[in-house]
Structure 1
């Protein structure tokens, strides 16, 4: 580290003169004079040895030495007193390699003091802890929103599984950072602890509930109907003989395909992340971008399941909005904030991920409002009963009251049902979504009938 600015400038001038003189000699000499024909001229492992000449830029003149000492003391032992706010330290340096004849220059590169860096790390850990706590309460709200097996059967297993994989990655990342950097162990261990509670206690519990209820959907018959009939006949014929024998239970192990797929996805993601560390920046962006698109498609399985089963509002709107916002917070911090913790360069592609997740949320909300198969052409859908028929004005009084014999009141809450024609097609669609008519021609509020059917 050079003592003064003058010595730094003189050193740089000498190094630049030496490099320029060497370049001129190489330019004047013929090509064959310095061409190396012998492959053994250089050893197999050739390294460049660097010498570094660096200097920190001086602080502004208006900041005295006593102010700077108070600032340093407050950073080392915070007491809450107000001190000066000096600009970030600027480093100018020259890296010179005598054996490689290489010169690298750094001019006024901003830095950060280690105490402020640790404070920034603690602030990030606090943000991650708050996000994990908010997600815990959002998941508890979703579990209370689906208290019955019929409501849980409408929730996509892979939507919950992908979010559990994301939480597992974050827990591992925070715990590893806290173990490696001892000064920030407590805040990062706290963030890892709450993330572990989210994924292991609440996330995996809800995931197992969804898997257990939806498991019959993936079970396939292992024998044909003819073999089943033959077995039934043999059992009927051997009824007398079987009385003297102990019954044997046909134990069938539950399928483990889903669990194996989740573990495979988790290990594959860790492998790809490990491979991206030692690759170039382009390969890192490709691998991390692919993982980001996959992990942030966690609402897509729910959209597909809504279309497949024709179910409405399997997830709470609060859960959808809270999870979408909180899961975008950490990537937005690292890829959108120029002064992030790891010094990663900002990227405009992060806004594409935000728009992608926002599009998924909009589709889910539209499915809840206008039907789960809103975007699917009718020719690809089977003929099903329309629980939201169009009730015109002249039919409202006659059909609903006379032919059906029922008033325009909900058969559950006994309150009036609005079936009036508002003239505008968009308003009519919203009105039809508020009532339901069953095949027995009973009229209900949509919310009332859905609440009763889930019990």
Structure 2
């Protein structure tokens, strides 16, 4: 017996679920065959560490031994250039080190500007400048500008196969990665410092600049956005050292063609920085290499990787531009600390900063009035691509235009993320409350048939994506575990409740088999061909609401026919709804409608109709695909990524379009509660408003206020259309040929039809002539018809109250808006009975039968 063939989406769904459930181990797919490459690289790292241990300040002088002074500045003598035996620092590597002295000089210039001289003396040079943040961990955002390089370099300037022959380079003869070509752009820095601080003895003041007597390891994730050039963005990881007292951070990338971390001390501003960073790196690099040697077969990742795309050792790397970064942390201003312009007695800024940092790292409940912003300035230098960048700000640019790198400390960032995750969870709980309220309103087959399947589906897909992202993050979340868990629960509740509502809608709107829809009596009626009955072919309803034509039962016309469009169909409008309502009527004791009641087996969905479970599988794959493409869009061009995200948001916020379409097809004025429509619109706009409007959002994404304004306007246009459908009718202003026929419960009643008997029962001359009266001017103002007319009164069979029905004079047309609103007060059934609109709408929530004659009614 052959095995049944599984659909493709089920296979993909199974693979996705297995991938999601399997443990995420960075080393589970590593190959033992790469162990020899790892051994070779670790041996190379050992040799580099030996070079770092044996070199001294001044051993690396590419501009000449006498060409650099103690601060690394070029003094014009270029005799006897010196190199060290590190990849990228050798003469045969042909790196462009002509701007090394300029890099040091620009870095010192930024430091001196951040900590100006006091009394004509530069205290920063001797390690006595203004106090700064001791822990520089934080998230910062700013702009960069490109400075003129001394010598342009391209990939043709290098021969990587000669300088690093052990590697088989891919793409070394094409444009390298991270090659910034524009003149300006954005820069994001996520700085993380080691908690362990190492103390050391400084050199004498004659060897200034001094480094402050303490040092720690630091790591940064830097993202460049080349807005003025290629339009791409690059993300890279830099490792280096941080001198807390001076507020100086020097970092570099490391790769197969550049041993940046081993040569970092040679790039520092002076000998004191060199000897302190050399001691720190000797200890930390030794520990890292020893740990890697013990786990060669289980851990084959690059210890100081700068590229997220290649986390493992490979024989065929792709070259990228290497970068060295000098960062100066600015001291907080007195205004940011809440202090006055003058120094008061006993005031110690260093103690205040230490108290704030201590409370942020280990909260004890100490009062903190205000946490100052974290500010830095930086200069970035690429020795191979010869790129020279600097953050935009004073003294070259006014502070009103840009102020270098601005951000917050990592503890403040984590607190902000927790607050926004909790706020998002509250938004999701608000959606749950609205869904519960809508379920209480939409609980009968008649009301379920009005709601659009695809409107609720779009909401469900978005909630499912939120749940998937939160559930994936909560497993690895440390500082944000509880808020993420709360968001996971809230999104799960919204997804579950929305899925239950969607399942009920699909059950009602799924087409039944033709034999079940027609029934034996209906089949006999089609074959009899009786001239006294009017029949029509029922349309197949689908979840998208396109097949919503009427399916009238065979009814004998014994009285006068109402004028069009009152005669536009008789009987049931939705076969699936009629079947369920008939079953409900039987349970309530009412008689079954002929031609509707069928066996349960006949009401099963046809084989061609997809099951609800299969649709949920497709929705899951669609959400996974959108999340995958959205994650990969980080490496796209910024314009393309912006268009992609805006298009996704536009499609997502078009959730009311399917409901508008279904209202038109079914001639339904209102299917959902206004609290649900407005509430869902506002709640689903709020998360987008945070990322589209707030510049310092925790993802540091680029704001687009114009795009958000267009998205919000688009949502409110849809709400306006829904309100117009509720007020003047769903088919107002739409050509008749564009939609199927449907029963009009609010027809125009004319005086010239009184004698012909084409009016609802009880309003004709033969029914109640004594109650006919001409409308006075007071009645005219009360009813509000545009032209002259009359009214007739009749008792509503549901509420037993008087119903006044307006008429239009013979030969006149009522095209006024006030006339449209006046007709909303009454509803006329196909069996010519008339009721108050609220009365009949409330009745039809439970039964699609006339309250008087029990004839089947088309849904509204």
- The answer to whether TM tops 0.5 is yes
1:59 is aligned, of 320, 332, 336, to 332
Given the alignment of the two structures, is residue 454 of structure 1 paired with residue 541 of structure 2, yes or no? Answer: no
CA distance in 2 between counterparts of 1:184 and 1:417 reads 62
Change (3 A) 1:8 1:444: farther
1:291-302 correspondence to structure 2 within 5 Å: 291-302=648-659
CA distance in 2 between counterparts of 1:377 and 1:42 reads 75
CA distance in 2 between counterparts of 1:25 and 1:412 reads 91
What's 1:415 paired with?
A: 801
1:307-346 correspondence to structure 2 within 5 Å: 307-346=664-703
Task: Please say if residues 297 and 357 of structure 1, whose CA atoms lie closer than 8 Å, have aligned partners that are also in contact.
Answer: yes
2:647 is aligned, of 283, 290, 303, to 290
More helix by share: 1
CA distance in 2 between counterparts of 1:193 and 1:350 reads 28
Q: Secondary structure at the match of 2:391?
A: strand
Per-residue CA deviation, residues 311-367 of structure 1 (Å, 9 max, x unaligned), is: 232111111111111111111111122221211111121222211121111212221
What's 2:719 paired with?
A: 361
Of 426-435 and 117-126, the range deviating more from structure 2: 426-435
1:220-239 correspondence to structure 2 within 5 Å: none
More strand by share: 2
2:660 is aligned, of 289, 300, 303, to 303
Kindly name which structure, 1 or 2, has the bigger radius of gyration based on alpha carbons: 2
Change (3 A) 1:263 1:285: farther
Ranges in structure 1 where 5+ consecutive residues have no aligned partner: 1-6, 28-33, 230-248
CA distance in 2 between counterparts of 1:187 and 1:343 reads 20
2:495 is aligned, of 183, 186, 199, to 199
Per-residue CA deviation, residues 209-232 of structure 1 (Å, 9 max, x unaligned), is: 111111125x5679xx9xxx9xxx
Q: Secondary structure at the match of 2:794?
A: coil
1:240-279 correspondence to structure 2 within 5 Å: 255-256=609-610, 259-278=613-632, 279=635
Task: Please say if residues 15 and 96 of structure 1, whose CA atoms lie closer than 8 Å, have aligned partners that are also in contact.
Answer: no
Task: Please say if residues 103 and 379 of structure 2, whose CA atoms lie closer than 8 Å, have aligned partners that are also in contact.
Answer: no
Q: Secondary structure at the match of 1:105?
A: strand
Change (3 A) 1:400 1:252: closer
CA distance in 1 between counterparts of 2:838 and 2:713 reads 31
CA distance in 2 between counterparts of 1:429 and 1:10 reads 85
Of 422-431 and 187-196, the range deviating more from structure 2: 422-431
Ranges in structure 2 where 5+ consecutive residues have no aligned partner: 1-69, 75-98, 107-145, 170-317, 338-348, 393-403, 524-600, 772-792, 809-813, 847-860
Q: Secondary structure at the match of 1:153?
A: helix
Q: Secondary structure at the match of 1:408?
A: strand
In the TM superposition, residue 384 of structure 1 has moved relative to its aligned partner by 5.1
Given the alignment of the two structures, is residue 119 of structure 1 paired with residue 405 of structure 2, yes or no? Answer: no
What's 1:242 paired with?
A: none
Given the alignment of the two structures, is residue 431 of structure 1 paired with residue 822 of structure 2, yes or no? Answer: yes
Per-residue CA deviation, residues 5-48 of structure 1 (Å, 9 max, x unaligned), is: xx99989993259999x955779xxxxxx976989567634343
What's 1:142 paired with?
A: 438
Per-residue CA deviation, residues 403-429 of structure 1 (Å, 9 max, x unaligned), is: 443833432112333545899932222
Given the alignment of the two structures, is residue 71 of structure 1 paired with residue 356 of structure 2, yes or no? Answer: yes
Aligned residues: 416
Task: Please say if residues 159 and 301 of structure 1, whose CA atoms lie closer than 8 Å, have aligned partners that are also in contact.
Answer: yes
Change (3 A) 1:384 1:61: closer
Q: Aligned-pair RMSD on alpha carbons?
A: 3.9
2:507 is aligned, of 208, 212, 216, to 212
Change (3 A) 1:173 1:326: same
Change (3 A) 1:316 1:286: same
Normalising by structure 2, report the TM-score.
Answer: 0.44
Q: Secondary structure at the match of 1:417?
A: strand
Given the alignment of the two structures, is residue 160 of structure 1 paired with residue 456 of structure 2, yes or no? Answer: yes
Change (3 A) 1:166 1:375: farther
What's 1:246 paired with?
A: none
Per-residue CA deviation, residues 250-295 of structure 1 (Å, 9 max, x unaligned), is: 9977632664444334323422432343331233223323322222
CA distance in 1 between counterparts of 2:332 and 2:323 reads 28
